[in-house]
């Protein structure tokens, strides 16, 4: 076996495998299916490995998560009819709906602080994928807007608007779980 490919593999493993956990978490949040998430992660690593020569220095984690997201979406598209997911439709809830949902006078802070982890998980999983992914990357993975925009392959403005709408929807979802 060529020592060039061997050293390339070792370098790749050293740089990219430490992000396995983040890759799996994102795949699971997006696919909502542990078996599919494992397949997505394996395929993503294989694709990343093949493209490793073209990767220049930069954010390895962000680069890997971009691939994981694409693979997750491929999985979702393949199973779209079966799982009835509206993965790309940002208007799954219209702006009017969102505004309506936001019209609430109860102190939400108290309500949100009292939520269980399971209620949070259920409300997150019920969100349309485009809103769920941006909240996962920002509020759970703690990534800056710029990195999120690179992963989602959208302008920063889109990240900002999706976050605002996504959080509105999530808060509404939490209220419904509670009531």
Angle between helices 20-31 and 60-78 (to 10 degrees): 30
Binding part of the chain for another protein, among 54-62, 64-72, 82-90, 161-169 by CB under 8 A, reads 161-169
Asked if residue 140 binds another protein (CB under 8 A), the reply is: yes
Burial 118-148 (b: 16+ CB within 10 A, else e): ebbeebbeebbbbbbbbbbbbeebebeeebb
Among 86, 99, 176, 178, binds another protein (CB under 8 A): 99
Under 8 Å between Cβ of 165 and 125: no
Among 15, 32, 33, 38, indicate the residue that binds another protein (CB under 8 A): 38
In the complex, least distance from residue 60 CB atom to another protein, rounded to whole angstroms? 15
Member of 46, 51, 83, 126 binding another protein (CB under 8 A): 46
Work out how close the CB of 33 gets to another protein at its nearest, in angstroms, rounded to a whole number. 12
Give the Cα separation of 66 and 23 in Å (integer). 9
> What is the chain's Cα-based Rg?
18
Would you give the binding string for another protein spanning residues 7-26, x where CB under 8 A is met?
-xxx-xx---x--xx--xx-
The interface region with another protein, picked from 43-51, 57-65, 74-82, 86-94 by CB under 8 A, is 43-51
Cβ-based neighbours of 35, under 8 Å, separated by 6 or more: none
Among 137, 149, 170, 172, binds another protein (CB under 8 A): 170
CB distance 74 to 36 below 8 Å: no
Q: How many CB atoms lie within 10 A of CB 67?
A: 21
* Residue 123 Cα distances to 12, 33, 167, 173, angstroms: 36, 16, 11, 5
Q: Based on the shown chain and the rule CB under 8 A, indicate whether residue 74 belongs to the binding site for another protein.
A: no
By CB under 8 A, name the binding residues for another protein: 1-6, 8-10, 12-13, 17, 20-21, 24-25, 28, 34, 38, 41-42, 45-46, 49-50, 95, 98-99, 102-105, 107-109, 112-113, 115, 117, 120-121, 135, 138-140, 142, 144-145, 160-161, 163-165, 167-168, 170-171
């Amino acid at each position: 076996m060529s020592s060039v490919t061997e050293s390339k593999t070792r370098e790749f493993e050293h740089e990219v495998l430490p992000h396995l956990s983040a890759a799996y978490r994102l795949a699971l949040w997006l696919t909502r299916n542990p078996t599919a998430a494992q397949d997505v992660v394996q395929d993503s690593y294989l694709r990343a490995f093949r493209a490793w020569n073209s990767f220049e220095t930069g954010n390895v984690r962000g680069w890997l998560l971009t691939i994981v997201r694409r693979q997750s979406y491929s999985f979702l598209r393949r199973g779209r009819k079966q799982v009835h997911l509206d993965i790309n439709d940002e208007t799954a809830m219209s702006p009017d709906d969102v505004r309506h949902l936001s019209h609430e006078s109860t102190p939400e802070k108290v309500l949100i602080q009292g939520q269980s982890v399971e209620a949070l998980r259920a409300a997150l999983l019920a969100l349309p994928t485009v809103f769920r992914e941006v909240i996962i990357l920002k509020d759970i993975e703690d990534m800056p807007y710029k990195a999120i925009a690179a992963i989602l392959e959208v302008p920063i403005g889109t990240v900002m608007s999706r976050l605002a709408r996504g959080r509105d929807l999530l808060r509404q979802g939490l209220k419904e779980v509670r009531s």
